[in-house]
Amino acid sequence: MERKRMLVVSAHAADYVWRAGGTIASYIEGGAEVHVVILSYGVRGESNDLWKGEGQTAENVKAIRKGETLAAAEILGIKNIEFWDFEDYPMELNRERLDRLTVKIRQFRPDVVVTHGWTDAFNPDHEGVADYVFQACVMSNSAGAQYDGLKVTKQMAIFGFEPHQPEISDFKPGTIIDISSTFEKKKAAMACFTAQKHLIEYYTMRGIMRGNHARRISGNQQYVAAECFSNFFPTVRGEFV
């Protein structure tokens, strides 16, 4: 992981923590440089508990969500985090916003891009972001797409988060990442999100279940917890094992 560059694009303020917090922390501990782009705070669709308070406002919800995710990012070791403040539910991802992400990719030049997967039965924002990130990666790799003299990138590996309801979303596991050494960090980061407390237990159990899958598939009994991702492209290597 040393000297690797990972770009994480999260539709809403907490998505990257629920679905990839352990992996991000592992990469950072291994010496990778990780940049996180949060497209929206999730004010309209991902902050239901916060709206139960009398007199609540969108600006106050936004401030709470930003504080939560900054606290979580600090626990995970993230130093580079950007808030693009798009509106959610629905999230409109137009050409101007596509160009903005393409420029970010060319500037940062990631080896790995992690974002939402293609299918999410309950969240069209997530599916839209999967397509948005994929298009930006393709444009970044295209010599004909000119952006202020920024150099074209080479093909990067792209992985999709496991959706919240994988069975209903027809999710197919592609890559399982061991997060045994960073699972406690992930749990501490998840605890920062008071707006979605109901997800903390769910993703704790999901990590343990994927750890079981990691042990079964690999034969390595040291795996305790894991996170699962879809592969945008097939894996290329010189041998099977």
DSSP code string of 146-167 = --TTPPPPPPPEEEEEPPSSTT
Predicted confidence at residue 223, as pLDDT, reads 98
Q: CATH: 3.40.50.300, 3.20.20.10, 3.40.50.10320, 3.90.1150.10. Which one for 5-231? A: 3.40.50.10320
CA distance 28 to 239: 28
State how beta strands 5-10 and 112-116 pair. Answer: parallel
CA of residue 185 relative to chain centroid, distance: 16
Residue 53 phi/psi, 5° resolution?
-75, 140
Q: Which residues of the chain have pLDDT under 70?
A: none
Cα–Cα nearest to 229, from 183, 182, 172? 172
For the chain, the domains span 5-231
Predicted confidence at residue 226, as pLDDT, reads 98
Predicted confidence at residue 61, as pLDDT, reads 96
Instruction: Note the pTM of the prediction, 2 decimals.
Output: 0.97
Mean residue pLDDT of the chain comes to 96
Predicted confidence at residue 1, as pLDDT, reads 80
Predicted confidence at residue 85, as pLDDT, reads 98
Predicted confidence at residue 35, as pLDDT, reads 98
198-231 confidence digits (pLDDT tens): 899 999 999 999 999 999 999 999 999 999 999 9
CA distance 140 to 156: 10
DSSP code string of 72-105 = HHHHHT--EEEE-----SSPP--HHHHHHHHHHH
